[in-house]
Chain A
Amino acid sequence: MSRIHRTVIAALLATAGVALAQQPRSAVEEIERYRAALGDGNPAELWEARGEVIWKQKRGPKNASLEQCDLGLGPGVVKGAYTVLPKYFKDTDKVEDLESRLVSCMVSLQGFTPEQAKKDPFGGPGKKVPMDALVAYITSESRGMKMNVQTTHPKEVEAYELGRKMFYFRGGPHDFACATCHGADNLRIRLQDLPNLTTQADAQKAYTAWPAYRVSQGEVRSFQWRLYDCFRQQRFPELIFVSPASIALTTFLAKNSNGGTFNAPSIKR
């Protein structure tokens, strides 16, 4: 698959020919136009609408909705909640990101087992899962608001520091760490720009653009999915959904984006 894509790029850029060779950024500019054209009418809105329905729907053994779930700003407050996550929650005595918090609420409010609540973390072709829709809905309710992740509780401090260690952790057959690709300014893989997640400006730009509707997959992808797929490309084993490491790394990245204006679900290639 990817080999075919490579060939496609090679072939088209070759046929694009001299003009492109003289002005290599013009290809990048056209891709900017492409992204702008998709901005109006993001299919993520379909997930947001479905998520709002699921949020209010009575489900699970307790036949209850999630409406009383405390996402960090108090029970039932959805507006702005994503800007303070991940966060320490007293009831679970854990730092939780949005996805793990939803799992906790599905267990405590709706009576699902943790296994049931975590069973389908990501959607796929012909497979719609509640988690993607809930994430799309809840994050959309923080659009336009500033990221404001706090590390006041010792467990929040610890999660941030552990996330930082993980960010620089080199491993696997390729010796890759997150920092290999996301630790310096103005780098790119092929033609894809790489945010430097250790700087505030880039971290803000990157973190506030997830979740995203990926046109290549026709799905809304959550931040948990973003980390899952990064580690796949890092040649690491499979990241477990809402695992402590995934939450620690999210805490590190989310806090680095503080002050950035949240603008997702977005739309990406």
Chain B
Amino acid sequence: MADPMKIRASMAGDKVEVKVLMSHEMETGQRKDSKGALIPAWFIQNVTATHNGKTVLSAEWGPAVAKNPFLSFRFAGGKPGDKVAITWTDNHGDKRTDEATIA
């Protein structure tokens, strides 16, 4: 199973700023191993962020997103103590959801 994300959610003025680090190889499918064989693509394709159940961001990613991806965004309507949940799905169908409380 994939490692947990690191999610930081805090108030930035009247908005909530979310910063997420995800643990993922983000293998492009273009690299070769030491024996010259192509390493198959393995990357996060979809990311969804929700605040109190409402989607505040959704993304489609290609393999060009950097390894161990970082993502930051801001949304309105949140307050300290609210929950922000992030879910990613990769091209193998693996999923991971983690949650943070807005500070």
Contact between B25 and A46, CB atoms less than 8 A apart: no
B70 cross-chain contacts in A, Cβ below 8 A? 41, 43
Q: How far is the CB of B13 from chain A (nearest CB, A)?
A: 17
Question: Hey, which chain B residues are within 8 Å of A45, CB to CB?
Answer: 6, 21
In chain B, positions 66-87 with a C-beta closer than 8 Å to chain A are 66-68, 70, 72
Nearest B-chain residue to A50, judged by Cβ: B3
Is A46 in contact with B19, judged by CB distance below 8 angstroms? no
Interface string of B7-30 (1 = CB under 8 A from A): 000000000000101110101000
Whether B62 is near chain A, meaning CB under 8 Å from some CB there, is no
Give Cα A45–Cα B23 distance, bound, in whole angstroms: 10
Bound-state CA distance A40–B70 (Å) is 10
Cα separation A124 to B35 with both chains bound (whole Å): 16
Inter-chain contact total with CB atoms closer than 8 Å: 33
A41 touches B72 (CB 8 A): yes
Contact, CB under 8 Å: B6 / A218: no
Cβ–Cβ contact B67 & A218, under 8 A:
yes
Picked from A42, A46, A215, the residue with its CB within 8 Å of the CB of B3 is A46
Cβ–Cβ < 8 Å partners of B72 in chain A: 41
Is the beta-carbon distance between A43 and B68 smaller than 8 angstroms?
Answer: yes
Q: Which residues of A contact B19 (CB under 8 A)?
A: 40-41
Residues in B with CB closer than 8 Å to A41 are 19, 21, 70, 72
12 contacts between A and B (CB under 8 A): A40-B19, A41-B21, A43-B23, A43-B67, A45-B6, A46-B3, A46-B21, A49-B3, A125-B25, A125-B27, A128-B3, A218-B25
